[in-house]
Every structure is written in structure tokens, then in C-alpha cells.
Structure 1
Amino acid sequence: MGNSPAVIETSGLSKRFRGGQLAVNGLDLTVPRGSVFGFLGPNGSGKTTTIRMLMGLIEPTSGTARLLGSPMPKAARAVLPRVGALIEGPALYGFLSGRDNLLRYDAADPTADPRTRTARVGAALDRVGLTAAAGKKARAYSLGMKQRLGLASALLQQRELLVLDEPTNGLDPQGMREIRSLIRELAEDGTTVFLSSHLLDEIEQVCTHAAVMNQGRLVVQGEVAELAANARGRLVVTTPDTGAAARLLKERGIADVAVAGEDRVSSELPPDDMELADLNAELVRAGVRVRGFTAERASLEDAFVALTGEGFDVAG
């Protein structure tokens, strides 16, 4: 059981809420052990409902979920002590200090050794950069500090699996970088990290694998590098002669040609058998004043827009 290659496995997992709304529809998800797994989707796509089923907080309408090889929610009591989680923001006591919040969290864990509690809490605070603010009341914490304290609560014990719902919510860019680097460290220490996000660049920077949800359904899952590779990159030509450049690219059969602003033409990258240098020379011969000619690799965003057929809510 402990050596199963998947730490999370679902089969046909579905959740229909009262009133008939199907929030999660037939989900078959596989999260490999040792991965940093990004669970992506616009807000309302079913991510949090899925996480709540995985953690045994709500029962599925149909289908099954296994966590660390055991069925959920049936095996919740045995499985959850091996899992750290931060779901829908941390629940904190505002009148207690950051340190006292963590001491209380740790005391509520029946598997935690009280003799090493103070050292564990100190190490968790240090790990998320809150040692200096540990004596401050949690109600005086900024949103980003509260998020870090919630993460610290999930890190009190060594965990096999860490489940994080939007872990960089409310953090400034520096805080986001710190949390990303912490997630990488945890993965290097052997913890599998499952994180939901609607921030594509976050997934691209930190995750090894990803799955995309859209309107309750799983659109795709796989290694991040492969998902991006499946989308075609973009060709960007910078020129004052946008009309002439766009015409020539279209004549050559290049797809999705668009004039983007006063001096940019963008298109899909040409097929592999078309030499980019020859295309550039052809533009020049046709009298197009080429000031820039760039092949941009496909990003995860390109892949997901291609897969879901819609723009991605990358901001909020």
C-alpha cells in the first residue's frame, strides 16, 4: 500500500449537489507518488469540491477515491494523519498568537508527541518565515501571513502528501516565490504535493504534473512539459508593415495570423518543414521592414486555451 505509484486515485468520481447541479462529473484522476501535481481550472470548475471529497469532508454521489492506497472517506481516520492540508484558507484563532495557534493545532493531533511539540512548532514557523511574527496575535496578521501560518500548520509533522488549495492566495510576489521554493523543497524531501490553482504561471514554475478541470470535467492530465509541448508556439513579427506581413504569412498557409497592435503580427509557428530563416528572408524580399522575428515556445496557457476552448481566469 505504501509503495503504490499513485498517492491519489479516483475513478468516476462525481458530486451532484441538491438542486441537481453536477459539480464534479466522472473524474478519473491519478497523482503519481513524488510529484508536485497542479490541479488547474477556472473558479467554479469543481477543484475545491474534488479536494473536499478526497479529504473525506463530503461524500461523493458516485465513483470512488483512494488516498495513499486506501478508500476515502472510509479510511479517513487511518489516512488523514499522513496528510497535511490547507483548504479554503486557514482557520485561525484571532486572539491567539501565531505560535499559540500552532501549539493548539499540534495538540489536537493524536499522533503528535507532546514532548517535541515546541521544537516542531518552532521549525514550522521558521520554514514559512514567520519566526519574527510568532508572538503577534493572528488577527493582526496580513492575509499573506495568515496563509503562511496555515501552511505551517500543515507542516507540523512529516507528511506523505500535502494538499494545498490556492496556497499563494493573498501573497505578494516575494511571498509567492518563497512558497514556491518551499513546495520544491518539500518535494525533494519526498512529500507528494497536490496543489490547486488558477494561476498558470504558478503551475508552470513549480509543478511536474498537472490536470485541468473545466465545468466539472477533467479535460486533460499529464506531465507539465508534455502538456505545453502539445500546443503549438507562436511566431511574432515586429514590423511597421503589419498588413503586408500578415498577407504573406496567410499566403504561405500559416494558421491563426493576427495583427496585434500597431507593429506586431502574430501567428501559429509554421510547420516543422518550413525553415524560419527562409520565411524571414521572404518577408524582407517582399519589402516588409522586419524589426523583430521571434519564435515563442508554447506556454501552458496556450495549451489550456487550446484544450478548453476558452481564455483562462489567470487573475482571480
Structure 2
Amino acid sequence: MTSAPVVTHGLTKRFHGGQVAVDAVDLEVPAGSVFGFLGPNGSGKTTTIRMLLGLIAPTSGAVELLGEPMPKAHLRVLPRVGALVEGPAFYPFWTGQANLLRFDAADRTADPKTRKARAGEALERVGLSNAAGKKVRAYSLGMRQRLAIAVALMQRRELLVLDEPTNGLDPQGTREVRHLIKELASDGTTVFTSTHLLAEVEQVCTHAAVMSRGKLLRQSTVEDLRAELRPRLVVRTPDAGTAAETLQGLGVTDLKTSGDTVEGDPGELPVEKFAAALVAADVRIHGFGLERPSLEDAFVALTGEGFDVAE
């Protein structure tokens, strides 16, 4: 057993017909982290989460949540875990508050004496206090998403598992959920959140794992993932041809020219050497500098594909 809140060993799921949705995934989520489970739609993220929570059985491999084997220890483990998986499902003709109270009543570990107060606090945290008495059938998708997060927050959780938590939210709702995730992490909750949005990981997460076509390609801190790519030298000039020849002569590799922009891998030569050489070659410089890679660059480098792909 390990102290990491989420651990998998060789986790694999094959569906009928031989389709491999998750292929020998080894995960380890650090305690107290905001862990971004990153990949395009169809990459196996939700299937992995369903196995973590014991909702479906793996074909092979093992899962530990909060140091206990799943699904064997689900009665001990799941009361310590809050989850939002594959979108919210509620009683549409009940109010938001009534739905929260019903979900909490189904939790054998919940204290009925504090139920109403906890529901009010959870609704306030997700910005739905004013809609507490409104029937859920009148809620927007974004409001239902926040209500689902409120269900997960009815009790203090050691681990929060969120599958695409900002799905359907407007920009303001997205900011609120991101702030909430950071707040929960600062209180000591480990947050495991899946997403296909790179901005989500860059703005919220401390750690990330990259999934593609059922395989786990990389897991590390977000900063380490980004830092693995070398910075690119970028020059903007109307003399792109001359600039490219000059840079090539100085050892710049992987040169690419597009319109008035020339870029490439500068290697180890100090950047001021390139500027001096370009000026000496009478290259008119409209823009010059090193550009740090984005998380999207790191993803493309790992997978060879963008985020508009499906499994």
C-alpha cells in the first residue's frame, strides 16, 4: 500500500469486440495536489475514472484509493471521496436544495442533524444559493454542473474526483469552479480532475498526466511537463529569407519560415549572438526573442496530435 490518494497498477479495460479503452495505466497522484488528467475526448479518461471509483470492473490491473484496494474496500473508501462523473443526474421536478438533501440522506455516514445547514453551505460555495428553491428542470446545464459539485461537497472529502467539471459552464461559472478547486486544494483536499481543456490544466493544476488513445504517455508536475520542451527562437522580419540563411549559418536547427516569421531551435548559443548576426546581415527586425513552449506544445510533442481527435 502507498500513501498516495490515487494509485493504479497496469489498469486495463477491454470492452466486447476487443476494443482497448484503457491500456496498462500506472498512475500515482500526490497528496494535496490538483491533478489534471489530460487528453482529448475519447482518450480513456472517463473509463479510467469509473474504474477508480468501482463503477466498472477493470479487465486487469489494480486500483488503490486512499491507501485501500478498490472495489474491495469501497464501503470504507467512498464516504471519504466526492465525485462528479459523466455529468449530473437529478430529480428534475425537485428543487436544487431538495436534491442535495436526498443525496445526503442516501449517505449512511451523513449526520441528518446538520444536513440542511451543510446543503446551504454547499450551495453557497458553488454560487447557487439564489437558485436553491428553483426546480432543477429549470436549471441550465452549467447550473446542474455546479449542483453536482455541491453534492460532492456536502461532506468534507479527502479526495475529490471531477470528470470535466467545467463542462457547459459560461466563462464566469468556469472561473468560479477553478477558484473553488484551488480553494479545496488549499484546505488539504486532493483534487483529481479530468479535462480536455489545456487552459484548465495550466491555470489550475499542479500535476498532470497525459492520455492518448487509452495509453498514459506522461505524468509529472505541470512545470516539468512544459520545461521538457526547448524554447524557440522567433524572428519577425520582412527579410525572412536572409534571416533564415543567417540563422542556419549559426547552427539554428529545425528552421521554419511562415510569412514574415522565422523560428527554430537556437541550441546553446547566447541569444544576443543571433541578434548581432542578423543586424550585421542587414536584416530588418520587427520582433525578436525566445518563446517558451505552452502545454499544448508539450501535448503535441508527446502525442503527435492536437486536441480535436477522438479515440
- String of CA shifts for 1:112-138, please: whole Å, max 9, x gaps: 111111110000010011111111111
- 1:266 maps to 263
2:46 maps to a residue whose letter is T
Q: CA deviation at 1:73?
A: 1.1
TM-score by length of 2: 0.96
Q: CA deviation at 1:226?
A: 0.8
231, 255, 271: which one aligns with 1:276:
271
236, 241, 254: which one aligns with 1:238:
236
C-alpha distance in 1, partners of 2:148/2:163? 11
Q: CA deviation at 1:256?
A: 2.6
C-alpha distance in 2, partners of 1:313/1:207? 22
Secondary structure of 1:257's counterpart equals strand
C-alpha distance in 2, partners of 1:255/1:139? 58
Q: CA deviation at 1:313?
A: 3.4
Long gaps (5+) in structure 1: none
- 1:184 maps to 182
C-alpha distance in 1, partners of 2:153/2:245? 57
Deviating runs (4+, > 4 A) in structure 1?
none
Matched, 1:8 2:6: yes
C-alpha distance in 2, partners of 1:224/1:32? 13
1:87 maps to a residue whose letter is V
Q: CA deviation at 1:197?
A: 0.5
* Greater Cα offset, 46-55 or 127-136: 127-136
Aligned length: 310
- The Cα RMSD (Å) is 1.6
Long gaps (5+) in structure 2: none
* Greater Cα offset, 240-249 or 114-123: 240-249
1:249 maps to a residue whose letter is L
* Greater Cα offset, 49-58 or 295-304: 295-304
281, 284, 309: which one aligns with 1:286:
281
Preserved contact between residue 198 and residue 313 of structure 1 (Cα < 8 Å): no
1:301 maps to a residue whose letter is E
TM-score by length of 1: 0.94
C-alpha distance in 1, partners of 2:247/2:165? 43
- 2:126 maps to 128
87, 90, 94: which one aligns with 2:88:
90
Q: CA deviation at 1:162?
A: 0.2
1:1-316 maps to which residues of 2 (within 5 A)? 4-260=2-258, 262-268=259-265, 270-271=266-267, 273-313=268-308
The percentage of counterpart residues that share the same residue type is 66
* Greater Cα offset, 276-285 or 151-160: 276-285
Preserved contact between residue 233 and residue 299 of structure 1 (Cα < 8 Å): no
Secondary structure of 1:159's counterpart equals coil
Secondary structure of 2:5's counterpart equals strand
C-alpha distance in 1, partners of 2:182/2:262? 38
Preserved contact between residue 3 and residue 66 of structure 2 (Cα < 8 Å): no
